[in-house]
Structure 1
Amino acid sequence: MKERVALLKFTGYKIINNISDTGKAFLIILITDIFLGYHSESGWHTVCELIVEHYGLEVDQATITIFICLVPVMMDACVKLWLFKFLPKLSPKVSNIFQEMKRH
């Protein structure tokens, strides 16, 4: 099992290292928009209902709505903080990409 995990990590690192910095920035923005974008409310609602029903619990719409109002927004804030504060320190090219995005 450890060999498979090591092989999977190696493959992931190899794929990520072969992508240009522009490609990495695009993938980060794409993934965060898919999972944290405002357009994904129905997706979050469906996933929450599936998880609650999977564990045999009764679906409470109010609780799911509060969860959807809070959790994705907090995750989005944390991701944006990481993107704009810490990621440019790791790769200076990412900082240039963000500067170009701000101009448009």
Structure 2
Amino acid sequence: MPSVALLKFTGYKLLNNISDTGKALLIILITDIFLGYHSESGWQTLLEIIVEHYGLQVDQSTITIFICLVPVIIDACVKLWLFKFLPRLSPKVANIFREMKRH
């Protein structure tokens, strides 16, 4: 448990030293990498590697359904967090996202 607390503390220290614009860029970059529409083949490759690592048979239809559902659900949760809870934590980052949404 102390290692988890240390990891959280280090993460908070790193995030606090980044400017608000840097935080916004980091959030956009991470969500685009994992949730962008261009990442379907990345999800498929990752899932195939994980399934094959455990010696299971790769079922393309199951992987396709997973890719259709899970990234969309994660994307919805991230957007909810960005526009509902993030303004309470950092008003400057929320203003940056509002400006981006207008354009």
State the TM-score, normalizing by the size of structure 1. Answer: 0.88
Local SS of the residue matching 1:98: helix
Q: Is it true that 1:37 corresponds to 2:36 in the alignment?
A: yes
* Deviations, residues 15-56 of structure 1 (Å, cap 9, x unaligned): 110001111111011100000111000000001101111111
For 1:6 and 1:88, the matched residues in 2 are separated by 25
Of 91-100 and 36-45, deviating more is 91-100
Q: Is it true that 1:68 corresponds to 2:74 in the alignment?
A: no
- What fraction of aligned residue pairs are identical, expressed as a percent? 84
Paired AA for residue 62 in structure 2:
T
Q: Is it true that 1:87 corresponds to 2:93 in the alignment?
A: no
Query: CA RMSD, aligned part only?
Result: 1.6
1:8/1:89 CA distance change after superposition, 3 Å: closer
For 2:86 and 2:22, the matched residues in 1 are separated by 14
Count of equivalent residues: 103
Paired AA for residue 39 in structure 1:
H
Local SS of the residue matching 2:58: coil
Query: 1:9: Cα distance to partner?
Result: 3.1
State the TM-score, normalizing by the size of structure 2. Answer: 0.89
Structure 2 runs not aligned, ≥5 long: none
Paired AA for residue 88 in structure 1:
P
1:47/1:97 CA distance change after superposition, 3 Å: same
Paired AA for residue 29 in structure 1:
I
Structure 1 runs not aligned, ≥5 long: none
For 1:39 and 1:59, the matched residues in 2 are separated by 22
